[in-house]
Amino acid sequence: MRGFGERLSIHTMTFQTFIFYFLSTVLIVAALGVITARNPIHAALLLVLAFFTSSGLWLMLQAEFLAITLVLVYVGAVMVLFLFVVMMLDINLAKLREGFWRYLPMGGVVGVLLVLEMSMVLTSRSGGFGDAVAPPALPAGYSNTKELGLLIYTEYVYPFEIAAVILLVAIVAAIALTLRKRKLSKYMDPAAQVAIQRKDRVRIVTMASEKPEIPAAPAAASESAKR
Amino acid sequence: MQYIQPLWPAYPEIFLLAMACVILIADLFISDEKRSITYALTQLTLAGAALITWFTASGEPVHTFSGMFVGDLMSDVLKLVTYFGVISILVYARDYITLRGMFRGEFFALTLFATLGLMVMISANHLLTLYLGLELLSLSLYAMVALQRESAQATEAAMKYFVLGALASGMLLYGMSMIYGATGSLEITRIAAVIADDGAKNVVLVFGLVFLAAGIGFKLGAAPFHMWLPDVYHGAPTAVTLFIGTVPKLAAFAFVIRLLVQALGVEEIQAHWQQMLAVMAVLSLIIGNVTAIAQTNLKRMLAYSTISHMGFLLIGIIAGGLNGYASGMFYVVVYVLMSLGAFGMILLLSRDGFEAENINDFKGLNQRSPWYAFLMLLLMFSMAGVPPTVGFYAKLAVLQAIVEAGHVWLAVIAVIFSLIGAFYYLRIVKLMYFDDAEDTTPITPRADAQVLLSINGLAVLAFGIFPQPLIALCASSILASL
């Protein structure tokens, strides 16, 4: 952990480092909140906070396009939909949280150990990221979006296409799994509506005319109606 | 245009994708009675892809798409085996899925997309393409498992598969990001070059390797990451189990070769992953073989048998060198051949509303149909590793390689647990030949499935008598790819 402390003392001066640690702290607290919150709505909102702060971290890495996309797509679209779904569903929380406390000690110990080991390995100076140098700052007017667009359609065209196929599979799978034809469901068939002819709707029957029967006692009938 | 030059090594993938889209659309205009047109189109597509692969096969590795795609002999051989496997799967599964309301266009489209995912993985030369291919495969498989919507068991299996698969993908991605952090590249050939120049941060590299090994363990189904395997094999419709249990192992093998051998194959790093794989191999052999004895459900038993086979495959990779990797490739091809037959047999004996998935359903099979009993005998002998079936040579090649590499203790463990494992394979043989049939319904599969299953069973014997061509093919394709 020595390397970690040293780096901290070198960088504490800069404002950027302060923002980094601030955002990271909020991110970690929010992420912990997502899994410990009792109310699923709170969990979803905390996840929104986590996305927001991590997009701030991406901004600091000069990846503006990705940062904005994260906010637009995940916070704006995915999480709002998610919130709707959570609100629509009647989730049995007691059942969901069954065993949480039973597994917490074991899981907690493993988790803390993992975090300690990971930070030791990753911040070590011999072969870890401890001696990593920051990438050079990009010149003003550098368009992150343009560079990404150029790469996606040239060098990364193959993975880009595969990602498109994955989305297609998602559509096919979602439809195959959820579309059901009910026998009783009511629907319109425009083709049949257009192709219909008069004879299908109106049947003209010719029959001999009948004489209308004269009601036997109209006066008596109206009398009874009044009563 | 320089980014997609040359395009020809990717022709099979392009053809398959185009045809999958055509089938997806054409199927909308086909009525339920004529659904076999979709089936025929799917089979033709696979056969066409096989032809294209055959004619574009190259001895020398060709890189394209800015070094993200590689076409080499190993990828061509594995792809051809994959097409053969998928064609057989569809033939075996046809009756089964028709009777269970799964004979729909989506089944075929998803099968083709899963196959495409396999091909992308097999030909990947970039961690990003490896991962995307894996996701394409996995997403199609999750949907296929859940396709039988009325079955609660299948839905549960799909859910388990999805959650654990997502966990494994997360681990793989985390490991890959560490590799990127250490080497500054995601391209497999460049990673290898950077490590060779010793510009890599070894601690981070090994740290990422731990996550990669865990992810690979999950995907292969090697212990201690095997928990999903029995439940998914058991819960999924047998036709889909047949898919999950066979061809993806070919791509998983390619995955291991590309990631561990081609990218991280430097001796220093190799020593690290050999240790991790050795632990997984030993645990897989023990857990797979011992737990399989207690199973009464054939699908569950075959799942545990898969785990033990994966242990053997890992031993081949641990052995390293040309012999080790070639024996691993030989083993995985043979494994696919055997499991195709074994699961195909379950499909063949199943009928409307009845799954021949309990081992007791095989009682007295000899009285009902001596020929099927004989084929099943060959398949079980091969899985147990009894000569002269091909399973014996597969195990022998792996054991030879590991002894040559100096890990005699691994060979000893492998032999001991294969002997234990022979019990449950031979139990099936005993049930078929020495017990009386409880169920005497005649077996009436389609003619094409009968012929293919007979060829499949006899191939196990034929390759056992003449294993040399297949071994030589594996050796030369590994040699060309290293």
Q: Per-residue pLDDT tens for A53-92?
A: 999 999 988 888 999 999 999 988 888 888 888 888 877 6
Cβ contact, residue pair A166, B135, below 8 Å? yes
Closest by alpha carbon to B345, among B294, B299, B296, B295? Answer: B299
Task: Please answer yes or no on whether B204 and A127 come within 8 Å at the CB atom.
Answer: yes
Chain B residues inside the 8 Å CB shell of A157? 3-4, 65
Write out chain B residues lying below 8 Å of A120, CB-based.
Answer: none
* Alpha carbon of B232: minimum distance to chain A alpha carbons (Å): 18
- Contact check, Cβ <8 Å, B204/A159: no
* Model confidence pLDDT, tens digit, residues A188-200: 888 888 888 888 8
Q: Based on the number of CB atoms within 10 Å of its own CB, is A7 exposed (0-12), middle (13-18) or buried (19 or more)?
A: middle
Are the C-beta atoms of residues B361 and B291 closer than 8 Å to each other?
no
Of A127, A166, A176, the CB nearest to B203: A127
Query: Strands B69-71 and B62-64: what pairing?
Result: antiparallel
The answer to whether residues B93 and B344 touch, using CB atoms and an 8 Å cutoff, is no
Interface test with chain A among B65, B161, B205, B240, by most A beta carbons within 10 Å? B65
pLDDT band at A222 (very low <50, low <70, confident <90, very high): low
Decide if B136 and A154 are in contact by the 8 Å CB cutoff.
Answer: no
Q: Which of B273, B127, B275 is nearest to B191 (CA)?
A: B127
Mean pLDDT of B194-222: 84
Q: How far is A200 from chain B (nearest CA, A)?
A: 26
* pLDDT at residue B122 tops 90: yes
Residues in chain B: 482
- The helix/strand/coil state of B126 is strand
Helix/strand/coil for B344? helix
Query: What does the DSSP assignment read for B171-223?
Result: HHHHHHHHHHHHHS--BHHHHHHHHHTT-S-HHHHHHHHHHHHHHHHHHHT-T
The encoded tokens of residue B359 equal 């081992």
Alpha carbon separation from B162 to A58, A91, A173, B228, B229 (Å, rounded): 29, 20, 13, 10, 12
Per DSSP, B263 falls in state: I
Rounded mean pLDDT, A168-175: 94
Q: Which of B207, B268, B269 to mutate to test the interface with A (most CBs of A within 10 A)?
A: B207
Cis amide leading into B387 (omega within 30): no
Residue A62, pLDDT score: 84
Question: Which pLDDT score, from 0 to 100, does residue B120 have?
Answer: 95
Largest CA distance in chain B: 68
The contacts found for B225-229 with CB under 8 angstroms, 24 or more apart, are: B225/B168, B225/B280, B226/B284, B226/B287, B226/B288, B226/B307, B227/B164, B228/B160, B228/B161, B228/B164, B228/B165, B229/B303, B229/B304, B229/B306, B229/B307
Instruction: Name the percent of chain A lying above pLDDT 70.
Output: 83
CA distance A178 to B247: 27
Q: How far apart are CA B53 and CA B58, in angstroms?
A: 9
Q: What is the pLDDT of residue A123?
A: 80
Q: Which residue has 């490896």 as its token pair?
A: B130
Beta bridge partners of B187: B126
The token pair that represents B50 in the structure block: 């096989």
- Residue B249's Cβ-side half-sphere holds a number of Cα atoms within 13 Å equal to 32
Residue B458 reports pLDDT greater than 70 = yes
pLDDT at A3: 44
Token output for A55: 């997009």
Report the chain B residue with the minimal C-alpha distance to residue A176.
Answer: B106
Residue A147 reports pLDDT greater than 60: yes
Task: Classify residue B68 as exposed, middle or buried by CB count within 10 Å of its CB (0-12, 13-18, 19+).
Answer: buried
B14-33 tens-digit pLDDT: 999 999 999 999 998 988 88
Question: Do the chains contact at A127 and B113, CB–CB below 8 Å?
Answer: no
Q: Which residues of B touch A (CB under 8 A)?
A: 3-4, 10, 17, 21, 24, 65-66, 68-69, 104, 106, 109-110, 113, 116, 120, 126, 128-129, 132-133, 135-136, 139-140, 142-143, 146-147, 149, 181, 201-205, 207
Phi, psi of B126 (to 5 degrees): -150, 140
- In A, residues 107-136, which contact B (CB 8 Å cutoff)? 118, 121-122, 124, 126-129
- Select the more confidently predicted residue: B101 or B378: B378
Return the percentage of chain B with pLDDT > 90, whole number.
65
DSSP-H helix ranges across A61-156: 64-69, 79-88, 93-96, 100-123, 144-153
Which value does ipTM take for this structure? 0.91
Please count the residue pairs, one from chain A and one from chain B, whose beta carbons lie less than 8 angstroms apart. 87
A149 part of contact set with chain B, CB < 8 Å: no
Q: What is the DSSP string of B416-475?
A: HHHHHHHHHHHHHHHHHHHS--S--PPP---HHHHHHHHHHHHHHHHHHHS-HHHHHHHH
Distance CA A176, CA A14 (A): 54
Report the DSSP beta bridge partners of residue B322: none
- Candidates B106, B167, B198, partner chain A, best to mutate (most A CBs within 10 A): B106
- Residues from chain A that touch B140, judged by Cβ atoms under 8 A, are 169, 173
* A175/B contact by beta carbon, under 8 A: yes
Task: Give me the pLDDT at residue A9, please.
Answer: 46
CB contact (8 A) between residue B4 and residue A157: yes
Q: What is the mean pLDDT of residues A163-169?
A: 96
Contact between A176 and B143 using a beta-carbon 8 Å cutoff: yes
pLDDT of residue A1: 38
Burial of B298 (0-12, 13-18, 19+ CB in 10 A): buried
Q: Is the pLDDT of residue A29 over 90?
A: yes
Chain A residues in contact with B181 (beta carbon < 8 A) = 129
Residue of B21, B129, B202 with shortest CB distance to A127: B202
pLDDT category, B150, cuts 50, 70, 90?
A: confident
The model's confidence at residue B111, banded by pLDDT at 50, 70 and 90, is: very high
Q: Which of B4, B120, B142 sits opposite A162 (nearest CB)?
A: B120
Residue B402: the pLDDT is 94
Nearest 10 degrees: CA dihedral of B317, B320, B325, B326? -130
Map tokens 């598969």 to a residue: B161
Distances (CA, A) of A138 to A11, A13, A191, B53, B177: 20, 22, 60, 45, 23
**A4 pLDDT exceeds 80?**
no
Least reliable range by pLDDT among A168-177, B197-206, B254-263: B197-206
- 3-class secondary structure per residue, B68-109: CEEECHHHHHHHHHHHHHHHHHHHHHHHHHHHCCCCCHHHHH
> Which tokens hold the place of A54?
């991590």
How many CA atoms, within 13 angstroms, populate the side-chain half-sphere of residue B102? 29
Instruction: Give the number of residues written for chain A.
Output: 227
pLDDT band of residue B318 (cuts 50, 70, 90) is very high
B103, B231 in Cβ contact below 8 A?
no
CA-derived radius of gyration, chain A:
34
Residue A5 pLDDT > 70: no
Helical (H) or strand (E) element with B64: strand B62-64
Q: Name every chain A residue with its beta carbon within 8 A of the beta carbon of B147.
A: 176-177
The amino acid occupying position B343 is F
Q: Name the pTM for this structure.
A: 0.88
Residue at A5: amino acid letter: G
Q: Are B124 and B211 in contact (CB under 8 A)?
A: no
pLDDT at B336: 95
